[in-house]
Amino acid sequence: MTTMESTDKQQHTVSGAEITLDGVSKIYRGQQAPAVDNISLTVPAGEIVMFVGPSGCGKTTTLKMINRLIEPTSGTISIGGENIRAKKVDELRRTIGYVIQGGSLFPHMSVAKNISIVPKLLGWNTSRVKDRVDELLDLVGLDAAKYRDRYPRELSGGQQQRVGVARGLAADPPVILMDEPFGAVDPITRQRLQDELLSIQRELHKTIVCVTHDIDEAIKLGDRVLILQEGAHVAQYDTPEVVLSSPANDFAQDFVGAGSSLKRLSLARIADLELKTPTTAKVGDSTAQVRSRAEANGDGSVIVLDDRNRPLGWPWLRQLTGEKIVQPSGDLINLDSRATLNDALDTMLVSGHGGAVVTGDRDAYLGVIDFKTVTDFIEEMQREAETETKAAPAAGSDEHPASRISIAPTDEELDGGREG
Amino acid sequence: MWDFVVDRREQLLINAWNHAYLVILAVLFATVIAVVLAVVVTRLPKVEPVANAVSAAGLTIPSFALIGLLLPVTGLGDVTALVAVTFYAVLPILRNAIVGLQGVEPGLVESARGMGMSEPMTLLRIKLPLAWPVILSGIRVSLQMSMGVAAIAAYVLGPGLGAWIFQGLTQVGGKNAVNYALSATIGIVLLALILDLALLLVGRLTTSKGVRV
Ligand SMILES: Nc1ncnc2c1ncn2[C@@H]1O[C@H](COP(=O)(O)OP(=O)(O)OP(=O)(O)O)[C@@H](O)[C@H]1O
Ligand SMILES: [Mg+2]
């Protein structure tokens, strides 16, 4: 399905490094069966690889062997062609970002201190560290002046997680390991954090290995998805498109699970769709002028942007009082352009405008995606799927029409998209 | 009694000062010893129940008995007093230090190691600061307890207010017996309050705002 290919995977300079695992096994002391049994794997430089699989299948163990928090019983691991045992262990770890669930921030250190740990270990000077902290907070969408001196307990769960990501990125490591990084936050926050990660990755092109137990998250974030079964045996290792359309075996099929045709919705990114461009206003603009511009465009509402082009709010015209446009109250939920159509529908359902504001790098405003665009796109996908079905009969059928998007076509309607 | 105190105020102040000095020194030593022991103990899971038993049982050793045991080794005097007070002072701190270090979330330690902090660095910069509030409350208990132990330690001619208490006891029925015992006891109580306040202040200054309760 070429329409599902993201259009924004441009060529950037890749700052990541390739990771290879060669015949790696781990047998924990006192256990018979290996937790990880002879896994060989290449994680290409600059890509996000998602490890997914049932609980206890060895995801975390495999991940932690990469930064030597766990030593393999046998096999070799290299990063950028160099065996990870060649360096001193602490030096190795300073070149690998490590982000775990909840952010795992040190509660007795301020946000700035937490982020600056590795740069300081590497001997950066004070002013460079300070600049880096501010840059990173900005990158993860937190106002540096407001948050740098706070303590972790003064942050929300989502903010803590953002700081955790910033800390992982602090010394600009080529490789970042994440273990269920977004497991501890609510679904809306999780979606935002995922979007932000994609946006950051679009800028930085690190090699990211990320463990999750959520196949949807794996499909959304991964350039590749690694499905593991008991003992870290590879069930399938491929792009999300292939994983969804042709599961390699029964295990992968079961794991990808019911509604996989529908899951392909989450392969389509907002970036694949056309955005609307309603009237925008900057904070400080004259209200009268903004109002007349909106009326000329036939818009009932305007999108207010800050001086760095980031959307602040989406007030109706009648809410615009006063001479100048001010910062609207309330929190605007926007979508990253790499967000999936699933996310778009979720966000729209709570927005009240029948649409959602879309942002790109560093939260810069791109446009608005509306309900009709999405439903039209789904219909088109459906037609495409039908023609494909006629060309090549479906390999199987999903019996579970249940889905989390009530307005989307049912599984039966969509099914058959799987290439036979 | 007022006249009694006024007449002997210089001696009283010297005694109080000595008493405080003995206690502070003992608690300082005890803190260092207890923290070092706790670090060792928490790294050797097998030793830990032993350490807990010892620190509980240790408190039941009567101080006179301990002093009796120490006398042949360290003789009469300041050193014996210091050793005895330090011995008792270690126990509550040790217990709290073990609890505090064990209470540090394993995920945080793993994060620290995963970021490339060495083991000693993790101890100094993560584990101890996080365990510090718990250790500190152990130090407070220890300080209060040591005030009393130090009074008994005066029996071995150590410094402090305890000397007057014993003087009072040996002169029971004498003219100033009650005055001696009472003024020293009140002095100890006052001193305990002052030192506790001072420790609270030290605690505030040494505990990160992020973990303060
Ligand atoms: N320190 C350990 N000692 C002994 N066995 C362990 C240890 N850590 C993990 N295991 C075992 O190894 C296997 C793989 O564990 P691992 O933590 O890698 O699983 P996982 O895929 O990350 O699971 P989850 O999704 O629940 O986090 C499990 O059977 C687990 O019980
Ligand atoms: Mg795990």
CA distances from A267 to A4, A381, A396 (A): 6, 12, 20
Q: Is pLDDT above 50 for A1? A: no
Amino acid at B63: S
Q: Specify the CATH number for the domain of residue B150.
A: 1.10.3720.10
Higher confidence at residue A305 or residue B158? A305
Answer whether A2-261 and A271-373 agree in fold: no
How far apart are the C-alpha atoms of B111 and A64, rounded to whole Å?
11
Pick from B134, B115, B178: nearest CA to B35: B134
- Domain containing B174: what range? 2-212
Query: Residue with structure tokens 């300070």?
Result: A130
pLDDT string in tens for chain B (213-residue length) = 778 878 888 888 888 888 899 999 999 999 999 999 999 988 887 887 887 787 777 777 777 777 777 777 777 777 888 888 899 899 999 999 999 999 999 999 999 999 999 999 999 999 999 999 999 999 999 999 998 888 887 777 667 788 788 878 788 778 888 888 888 888 889 989 999 999 999 999 998 888 887
Test B211 with A107 for CB contact under 8 angstroms: yes
Reported ipTM: 0.85
Hey, of B111, B117, B121, B211, which one would you mutate to test binding to chain A, going by the most A CBs within 10 A of its CB? B111
What are the pLDDT digits (tens) for A376-402? 887 777 777 666 555 544 444 443 433
Query: What pLDDT sits at residue A412?
Result: 41
Whether A316 lines ligand 1, by a CB cut-off of 6 Å, is: no
Taking the CA of residue B105 and the nearest CA in chain A, the distance in Å comes to: 9
Residue-by-residue DSSP string for B58-81: HTTS-HHHHHHHHHHHH-SSHHHH
Ligand 1 test: best mutation among A25, A52, A61, most atoms within 8 Å of CB?
Answer: A61
Segment of A209-213, A265-269, A390-394 carrying the highest mean pLDDT: A209-213
Higher confidence at residue A267 or residue A317? A317
pLDDT bin (cut points 50, 70, 90) of residue A264 is: low
Q: Any idea where the domains of chain A sit in the sequence?
A: 2-261, 271-373, 383-419
Amino acid at B109: V
What are the pLDDT digits (tens) for A223-232? 999 999 999 9
Closest approach atom of ligand 1 to CA A36:
14
Joined together, the tokens standing for residue A288 give 């009268």
- The mean pLDDT of chain A is 83
Ramachandran category for residue A277: left, alpha or beta (phi over 0 → left; psi -120 to 50 → alpha)? beta
Q: What angle do CA A32, A35, A36 make, to 5 degrees?
A: 125
How far apart are the C-alpha atoms of A42 and A237, rounded to whole Å?
10
How far apart are the C-alpha atoms of A106 and A113, rounded to whole Å?
9
Query: What pLDDT sits at residue A402?
Result: 38
How far apart are the C-alpha atoms of A305 and A363, rounded to whole Å?
11
Query: What pLDDT sits at residue A415?
Result: 43
Query: What pLDDT sits at residue A259?
Result: 54
Segment of A137-141, A254-258, A390-394, B150-154 carrying the highest mean pLDDT: A137-141
Residues of A in contact with B117 (CB under 8 A): 90, 117, 121
Query: What pLDDT sits at residue A150?
Result: 95
Query: Residue with structure tokens 């509306």?
Result: A370
What are the pLDDT digits (tens) for A52-110? 999 999 999 999 999 999 999 999 999 999 999 999 999 999 999 999 988 899 999 99
pLDDT bin (cut points 50, 70, 90) of residue A11 is: very low
Mean pLDDT of A159-165: 93
Query: Residue with structure tokens 């060495």?
Result: B118
Say how many C-beta atoms besides its own lie within 10 A of residue A56's C-beta.
Answer: 11
Query: What pLDDT sits at residue A155?
Result: 93
Joined together, the tokens standing for residue B176 give 């100033």
Question: What own/partner pairs with CB < 8 Å and gap ≥ 24 does A398-404 have?
Answer: A398/A258, A398/A259, A398/A260, A398/A261, A399/A258, A400/A258, A400/A259, A401/A259, A402/A258, A402/A259, A403/A259, A403/A262, A404/A342, A404/A346
How far apart are the C-alpha atoms of B78 and B158, rounded to whole Å?
5
Predicted TM-score of the model (pTM) = 0.77
Closest approach atom of ligand 1 to CA A63:
18
Higher confidence at residue A198 or residue A6? A198
Contact between B144 and B60 under an 8 Å Cβ cutoff? The reply is no
Query: What pLDDT sits at residue B43?
Result: 87
For chain B, the helix, strand and coil percentages under 3-state DSSP, each to the nearest 5: 80, 0, 20
Residues of B in contact with A165 (CB under 8 A): none
pLDDT bin (cut points 50, 70, 90) of residue A236 is: very high
How far apart are the C-alpha atoms of B112 and B82, rounded to whole Å?
38
Listed in sequence order, the residues at least 6 apart from A29 whose beta carbon sits closer than 8 Å to its beta carbon are none
Residues of A in contact with B118 (CB under 8 A): 90
Test A109 with B210 for CB contact under 8 angstroms: yes
Query: What pLDDT sits at residue B49?
Result: 81
Higher confidence at residue A332 or residue B111? B111
How far apart are the C-alpha atoms of A163 and A148, rounded to whole Å?
10
What class, spelled out in words, does domain A271-373 have in CATH? alpha beta
Query: Residue with structure tokens 């979330």?
Result: B105
- Quick one: fold of A2-261? Rossmann fold (3.40.50)
